[in-house]
Structure 1
């Protein structure tokens, strides 16, 4: 299942990302390559009416002039261009967006809708376009020599009761876990030296690192555990809307192969979280 949609860090941070230098690495390949065999010309998709929200930076939000911008907004437009169909994007309040899709007021919802059992009965979902791994963070001098096999007795800050704490319990039980009420508090413990490492949501950690690059850095590799961290971000369509879903999946493969997905990722996520 996809992790529940959560507000990201600071709204102002998303605006700062626009001017930040790109130092992120390209995305791993998430889309199903078999989708390239599903040609959108074989189905009837005259247009795609995307629904989104305006409160989920840096994915979908309004800039200082009120214009709807973000990673998801750019991606939706590129999907329509790739499929060569007309495209509209309309913002809804988060608590109304899913119902608007179910009521056929749009063809697709690109807003981080969780792939829960209830949502699975109402909607179908595209291939994952952005996975959400877990990662360690350490102070810069400790990050270079990080070894996950040498965590015995080391203090690892983690959000208490969350999926990343369960990961540590299951896969790295020798680590000494320090539970915090929030991921930010756990990251600050590493910065302040009261914990050796942080482990948690890599995307949130990337935003925090972007704000304080001199302090800390990612340590080791990204951990992909869909059963714990969720399957990542997808695009929801009404159940049974196979032509639209197939067109989106086809476009996602094309956009990965021609470099567009990497381009958007580098633009919106200067500190890469993979």
Structure 2
């Protein structure tokens, strides 16, 4: 299963926004990866598999063209490695099977790093982590402290990892569950709750249309054991030359600024 599911937030509006609040990506890879050398085994081409139903990562625009953050990233990886690149679109319920049947070399579509998937696939380093963050009304951002929320109502999506975070780390807040992130964020806007806590990426799309009222407050929380490892690229197990080439390209793209450029283009309200 992919995380996050973003359709309900109205992501298409981000392409029209001015990136006034965008930040560059933090460095997700191990610092030692900066010294990584190109793969000793040449890779003649990379056949990427993806889907067309996961905006803003991989989807078809109004003209039917395949676009998105993942699509741009796949192409930049191939340029960096200097190999031919193809991108094949599959239905979500078939794409992992296509990869395991060696109908492609790499899957860039948000496949989760579950134990079950780990038995079939290897994964690249993380190229986009998914932190949790608080959102408050604009007047409450300056000087925000999570410990000051004791006894205050905080919106969260029901039965989510972020609700578990609040229960584990801030047990004194009054967690108010909502069925969707958008409903919970609207509660912040209306003043029904003091803050919202949840997936920062989802919130960034909502904030894109609500910057006058609200914004991120406090730090970003990276808890892979709760929020997941983030977005990676999957490959059939044992395809070490492809995995090494992709990891090397991700390091180079971060170092030369290309990965930050893609992030700023597709996520104008930064979530770090």
Which runs of structure 2 are paired with 1:1-12 in the superposition (5 Å)?
4-10=2-8
Contact conserved, 2:51 with 2:90, CA < 8 A, in 1? yes
Q: Could you tell me which residue of structure 2 aligns to residue 22 of structure 1?
A: 19
Contact conserved, 1:30 with 1:128, CA < 8 A, in 2? yes
Moved more, 103-112 or 146-155: 146-155
- TM-aligned CA deviation for residue 38 of structure 1: 4.2
- TM-aligned CA deviation for residue 6 of structure 1: 4.1
Number of matched pairs: 271
Q: Distance in 2 between matches of 1:142 and 1:190?
A: 11
Q: Could you tell me which residue of structure 1 aligns to residue 78 of structure 2?
A: 80
The 1:45–1:220 alpha-carbon spacing in structure 2 relative to 1, beyond 3 Å, is same
Structure 2 runs not aligned, ≥5 long: none
Relative to the length of structure 1, the TM-score reads: 0.95
- TM-aligned CA deviation for residue 32 of structure 1: 3.0
Q: Distance in 2 between matches of 1:190 and 1:20?
A: 22
**Among 233, 236, 248, the residue aligned to 2:231:** 233
**Among 181, 184, 206, the residue aligned to 2:182:** 184
Q: Distance in 1 between matches of 2:143 and 2:39?
A: 51
Q: Distance in 2 between matches of 1:5 and 1:99?
A: 19
- TM-aligned CA deviation for residue 214 of structure 1: 1.4
Contact conserved, 2:53 with 2:59, CA < 8 A, in 1? yes
Which runs of structure 2 are paired with 1:53-92 in the superposition (5 Å)?
53-92=51-90
Contact conserved, 2:9 with 2:205, CA < 8 A, in 1? no
Q: Could you tell me which residue of structure 2 aligns to residue 164 of structure 1?
A: 162
Counterpart secondary structure, 1:157: strand
- TM-aligned CA deviation for residue 151 of structure 1: 1.2
- C-alpha RMSD over aligned residues: 1.4
Structure 1 runs not aligned, ≥5 long: none
Q: Distance in 2 between matches of 1:80 and 1:105?
A: 18
The 1:206–1:162 alpha-carbon spacing in structure 2 relative to 1, beyond 3 Å, is same
- TM-aligned CA deviation for residue 181 of structure 1: 1.3
Relative to the length of structure 2, the TM-score reads: 0.96
Residues 189-236 of structure 1, C-alpha deviations (whole Å, 9 max, x = no match): 111111000000000000111122212101111000000000100000
- TM-aligned CA deviation for residue 36 of structure 1: 4.3
Which runs of structure 2 are paired with 1:19-168 in the superposition (5 Å)?
19-23=16-20, 24-168=22-166
Q: Distance in 1 between matches of 2:228 and 2:11?
A: 24
Residues 126-167 of structure 1, C-alpha deviations (whole Å, 9 max, x = no match): 000000000000111112221112111111000111110111
Moved more, 16-25 or 224-233: 16-25
Counterpart secondary structure, 1:42: coil
Contact conserved, 2:39 with 2:241, CA < 8 A, in 1? no
Q: Distance in 2 between matches of 1:22 and 1:108?
A: 31
Contact conserved, 1:60 with 1:73, CA < 8 A, in 2? yes
Q: Distance in 2 between matches of 1:241 and 1:34?
A: 22
**Among 205, 208, 211, the residue aligned to 2:206:** 208
